Chains A and B, each alone.
Chain A
């Protein structure tokens, strides 16, 4: 087993209702095998109120495409604050060729509550298993 760690710096603003895909990791698969990714992505609302980004996940445009991926939703309850959260990202791949260039993308669909969100860093670890 070989792990690779990442901390992609995204630092962008997503407008209300926007949908965006971000690259969060890239490496070369060292041997034929399976992979699992355990990470998170930091999101902050840019104004008080109700906003619901979803689904926050590893995206199918990753190369190769993931076999399974998590889908997480995050919704603020309103109030007078600017909530922030690290939302987990999980995914797995089966039967990846040795030498393959692996690119992991994540996607977020911002809600429609009228609030933009900031998307910051995406730390994570890719575990590669020889099979």
Chain B
């Protein structure tokens, strides 16, 4: 936050910007077994700078650990995030039945309404693997949390 200034005896208070972004990027390297197993993991955390709303736009790098069909579903921001998200739509990804493993980044988005100033926000991801025997690895997570003062 910029410092206040005084001009000709008039004190001018600087205000916080109406919106502040936080960039999150981390390696995860979490293996989730096949046959429908699920898992929850941390994407990133930050401190809410003011009372307001948050939207998160990010992606999870996911790869299958062996050749063959596999369909992780759903891929989403977890309801175990702190605070719990207001919306957390789910995505999915299905690989081909080829002869190699497959890798793709999958978008994840979520929103929060009315988050208190100073709240320690922890965004978590949640992926349920498909029902074949192929394990997947959550390689990395990258995203931007846009905080809006309301």
Contact surface of A with B, Cβ cutoff 8 Å: 1, 34, 36, 38, 50, 52, 67-68, 70-79, 81, 83, 85, 87-88, 90, 92, 127, 129-131
If the complex has contacts A70-B142, A72-B59, A92-B144, are A77 and B105 also in contact, measured as CB distance less than 8 A? no
Mark B19-61 against chain A: 1 for CB-CB distance below 8 A, else 0.
Answer: 1110101000000000000000000000000000000011101
Are A130 and B107 CB-contacts (below 8 A) given A36-B144, A68-B25? no
Among A1, A67, A79, which residue has its beta carbon within 8 angstroms of that of B96? Answer: A79
Binding site for A on B (CB under 8 A): 2, 17-21, 23, 25, 57-59, 61, 63-64, 67-68, 95-105, 107, 139-140, 142-144, 146
For A130, give the chain B residue with the smallest CB separation: B17
Which of A76, A81, A92 is close to B21, meaning CB atoms less than 8 Å apart? Answer: A92
A78-B99, A79-B98 known; 8 new pairs, CB 8 Å cut-off, are A50-B98, A73-B105, A77-B67, A77-B98, A77-B102, A90-B25, A127-B146, A129-B17
CB < 8 Å: which of B18, B57, B99 contacts A50?
Answer: B99
Closest 3 CB pairs of A and B: A78-B98, A77-B98, A79-B98
From B19, B67, B102, give the contact of A129 (CB < 8 A): B19
With the chains together, A1 CA to B18 CA distance in Å? 8
> B17 and A75: CB pair below 8 A?
no
Q: Nearest residue in A to B95 (C-beta to C-beta)?
A: A77
Q: Which residues of B contact A79 (CB under 8 A)?
A: 96-99
A77 to B58, CA, bound (A): 24
The residue on B at minimum CB distance from A33 is B17
B64 touches A77 (CB 8 A): yes
Does A83 lie within 8 Å of B96, measured CB to CB?
A: yes
What are 26 residue pairs bridging A and B, where the CB atoms are less than 8 Å apart in the complex? A1-B18, A36-B23, A36-B146, A38-B144, A67-B23, A68-B25, A70-B25, A70-B59, A70-B142, A72-B59, A72-B105, A73-B103, A75-B104, A76-B102, A77-B101, A77-B102, A79-B97, A79-B99, A87-B105, A88-B59, A88-B105, A90-B143, A92-B21, A92-B144, A129-B17, A131-B2
A50 to B97 Cα, complex, angstroms:
11
Whether A76 pairs with B19 at a CB distance below 8 angstroms is: no
Q: Is B57's CB under 8 angstroms from A38's CB?
A: yes
Query: Which chain B residues border A83 with CB–CB below 8 Å?
Result: 96
Bound CA–CA A38/B143 (angstroms): 9
Alpha-carbon separation in the docked complex, A76 to B94 (Å):
11
Let me know if A72 and B61 touch, CB within 8 A.
yes
A78 adjacent to B67 (CB under 8 Å): yes
